[in-house]
Amino acid sequence: MITSRPHTTQPAARPHEAVAPQAASKRGAPGKARRQTAWGRPAQLPTITPLGRADLHMHSRYSDGLGSIQEILAFVGQRAALDVIAITDHNTIEGALLASELAQKQDARFEVIVGEEVSTREGHLLTLFIEQRIPPGLSVERSIELAHEQGGLAIIAHPFNRVFRHSIQLEVVDRLLCAPLEARPDGIETLNGSFAGIGSSHLAMTRNRRRYGWPETGSSDAHTVTAIGCAFTWFEGTTAADLRAAILNGATVPGGRFWQTADYWRLASYWARNGRPGRPTHIERLRRIGQSAHLAPLRQFSQVARRPLMAHLSHRRAERMAHGLPGQVEQDARIPQR
């Protein structure tokens, strides 16, 4: 009796499954096949967009910062892991223009945005990607319009801080929400690494996500070089153009921390010795008070009141000079000699 083995067939591959050929891969590794799709083409791996970091708020010696433009560029290039920075001195763009020019000449690995922190009537406003200075003292709506007219962006800086007089408050931000499109801000700073952001950064982030829905940024607001990059903005890409597109698309995320104690100490020590830019030192302030015309009667009364005391002190000093020498010799003679 002759029996035949049952004929077995290999199951066919499903349409959505990759069929691996038996030949070796192009790398030459034996027994390993190149991954292919069901249609025979190599499978495409997903493209991963790198994330960049930008610090959009810092100051140099052109306003009230301690670092020069050269020191800022050197620190960012050597120690700060930043792809984009913005020099935003108070009411001037001279330092930002110089930084942008030097960064291009030095072929720096990061880009510099020309910016300005404008002192509006309602508080500070960050303007980025600008070419001309925006004058201070205007309304916040007009300042935003001037930034937009030259192709720039406007970011509300450190809002909702009740003890900081340059912080834009709730009623003004609510007003901007209903402003015309050309007078609306392009974003809001919800993480400020300086003293202006302590206690108000979390409030700004909460209010923005519940009510306003504007793109969020994070910045160090550095006045010392070592504070640069402590707070920053995450964005898709690594260039200034990528950052601009991310802000306009609402694809930015704040990150980082606040200033360290050493940063406060350096700033306070410098201001105590040299005074803040545009403000007199403590000694100069006292000198101005002494020369004030309003205090002339008080100075005259003080001089008259001090005359009897000064005369008495002069008489006592003369008596001591007359009797001091013999007394001193007699006292020295009493000291035992060794």
From CA 74, how far away is CA 318, in angstroms rounded?
63
From CA 162, how far away is CA 213, in angstroms rounded?
22
pLDDT band at 26 (very low <50, low <70, confident <90, very high): very low
What is the average pLDDT score of the chain? 83
Residues 294-314: what's their mean pLDDT? Answer: 72
In words, the CATH class of domain 51-274 is alpha beta
- Percent of the chain past pLDDT 90, that is, above it, reads 63
SS3 277: coil
Cα Dmax for the chain: 152
DSSP 50: P
* 136 pLDDT higher than 70: yes
Which has more confidence, 95 or 20? 95
* 5 pLDDT higher than 60: no
Domain regions of the chain by residue span: 51-274, 283-321
Which has more confidence, 336 or 208? 208
Position 30 scores a pLDDT of 45
pLDDT band at 283 (very low <50, low <70, confident <90, very high): low
Kindly state the tokens that stand for 227: 């504070």
Q: What is the pLDDT of residues 238-270, one digit of tens each?
A: 999 999 999 999 999 999 999 999 999 999 988
From CA 130, how far away is CA 151, in angstroms rounded?
7
Position 319 scores a pLDDT of 74
